[in-house]
């Protein structure tokens, strides 16, 4: 099963953010999406999850065309994403925050509560279920963001900079966790990340963007040897 985007273009106020980018995520792989700031990575995740309608191009889940579908439709069909900012409702408990996303998909309150508890346990923060949003440490808040996504039973999980702001130890545990999630949920994981150690350790395949375009794809070794990658990242090599 595959989530694919073909020849995607997005413009904001006439300015090109993505220009004819294609990528595919298989259920069963961890694909790294990397690139300098402003490369178009988050915009691409927005397109892949129904948060941004592309000006051109096609998104499909296997052979099902997703044109015009809402973000909620993508969620219901197993395409789930996290955000750079977790944004919890501060008046709700952590559990209620997760239940709210499930209820919006029509899941009963009872099942939503049970599912939230299971996912918070899975993320190792079951004891924080009754705390209010906004009272957790930064690292725990990011775990809630992932728990909230996992509660939606992803077939494709799109993680937008999950290691941002984590220390080295926390980033290492995150690497183990992402591998575990991929296996336990049998989901494809798209990982946007600036932490190169994390990306190179857990991704078998990388997709590199710069200035809204694809500049390299391949295994970490192939990408590291690619002149366009070296030029974009290290300022060396022929572009
Ligand atoms: N809603 C928007 N309105 C106008 N321009 C936008 C909008 N969202 C993104 N852009 C622009 O589109 C381009 C791609 O942005 P995007 O956030 O996708 O890049 P990114 O690779 O995710 O960057 P970063 O690594 O900094 O998060 C940038 O030039 C950005 O300023």
| pLDDT at residue 165, rounded to an integer | 87
Q: Distance from the CA of 228 to the center of ligand 1, in angstroms?
A: 21
If one residue of 11, 33, 41 were mutated to test the ligand 1 pocket, choosing by the most ligand atoms within 8 A of its CB, it would be: 41
What does the domain layout of the chain look like in residue ranges? 1-78+157-239, 88-153
The SS3 assignment for 142 reads helix
CB 53 within 8 A of CB 130: no
Residue nearest to atom 25 of ligand 1 (CA): 37
Q: Is 40 in the pocket of ligand 1 (CB under 6 A)?
A: yes
Q: Is 12 in the pocket of ligand 1 (CB under 6 A)?
A: yes
Q: Distance from the CA of 112 to the center of ligand 1, in angstroms?
A: 33
Instruction: Give the pLDDT mean for 229-235.
Output: 81
Nearest atom (ligand 1) to Cα of 39: 21
Q: Distance from the CA of 152 to the center of ligand 1, in angstroms?
A: 26
Predicted confidence (pLDDT) per residue in 14-49, tens digit: 899 999 999 999 999 999 999 999 999 999 999 999
Q: Distance from the CA of 42 to the center of ligand 1, in angstroms?
A: 7
| pLDDT at residue 239, rounded to an integer | 45
Compute the distance between CA of residue 116 and CA of residue 171 in angstroms, rounded to an integer: 24
pLDDT level of residue 177 (50, 70, 90 thresholds) = very high
The two beta strands, 56-61 and 213-218, are unpaired
CB 155 within 8 A of CB 179: no
CB 216 within 8 A of CB 229: yes
209: pLDDT strictly greater than 90? yes
| pLDDT at residue 236, rounded to an integer | 63
Task: Calculate the average pLDDT of the chain.
Answer: 94
Q: Is 178 in the pocket of ligand 1 (CB under 6 A)?
A: no
If one residue of 15, 39, 51, 82 were mutated to test the ligand 1 pocket, choosing by the most ligand atoms within 8 A of its CB, it would be: 39
Q: Is 17 in the pocket of ligand 1 (CB under 6 A)?
A: yes
Predicted confidence (pLDDT) per residue in 121-142, tens digit: 999 999 999 999 889 998 899 9
Residue 12 main-chain phi, psi, to 5 deg: -115, 120
Closest CA to 141 of 122, 159, 120, 156: 120
| pLDDT at residue 104, rounded to an integer | 80
Compute the distance between CA of residue 102 and CA of residue 88 in angstroms, rounded to an integer: 14
Nearest atom (ligand 1) to Cα of 46: 18
Instruction: Give the pLDDT mean for 185-208.
Output: 95
Domain boundaries 1-78+157-239, corresponding CATH code: 3.40.50.300
The SS3 assignment for 149 reads helix
Task: Mark 121-151 as b/e (b = at least 16 C-beta within 10 Å).
Answer: ebbebbebbeeebeebeeebbbbbbbbbbbb
Nearest atom (ligand 1) to Cα of 40: 18
- Whole-model pTM? 0.94
């Amino acid at each position: 099963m595959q989530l694919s985007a073909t020849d995607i273009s997005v413009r904001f106020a006439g300015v090109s953010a993505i220009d004819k980018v294609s990528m595919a995520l298989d259920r069963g792989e961890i694909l790294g999406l990397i690139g300098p700031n402003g490369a178009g990575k988050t915009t691409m995740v927005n397109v892949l999850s129904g948060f941004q309608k592309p000006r051109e191009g096609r998104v499909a889940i296997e052979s099902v065309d997703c044109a015009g579908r809402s973000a909620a439709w993508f969620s219901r069909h197993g395409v789930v994403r996290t955000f750079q900012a977790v944004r919890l409702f501060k008046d709700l408990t952590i559990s209620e925050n997760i239940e709210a996303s499930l209820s919006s998909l029509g899941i009963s309150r009872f099942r939503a509560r049970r599912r939230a508890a299971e996912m918070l346990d899975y993320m190792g923060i079951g004891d924080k279920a009754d705390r209010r949003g906004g009272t957790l440490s930064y690292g725990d808040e990011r775990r809630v963001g992932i728990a909230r996504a996992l509660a939606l039973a992803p077939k494709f999980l799109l993680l937008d900079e999950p290691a941002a702001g984590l220390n080295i130890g926390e980033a290492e545990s995150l690497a183990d966790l992402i591998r575990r999630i991929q296996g336990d949920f049998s989901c494809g994981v798209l990982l946007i990340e600036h932490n190169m150690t994390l990306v190179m350790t857990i991704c078998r395949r990388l997709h590199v963007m710069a200035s809204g375009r694809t500049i390299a794809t391949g295994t970490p070794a192939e990408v590291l040897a690619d002149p366009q990658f070296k030029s974009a990242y290290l300022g060396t090599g022929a572009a």
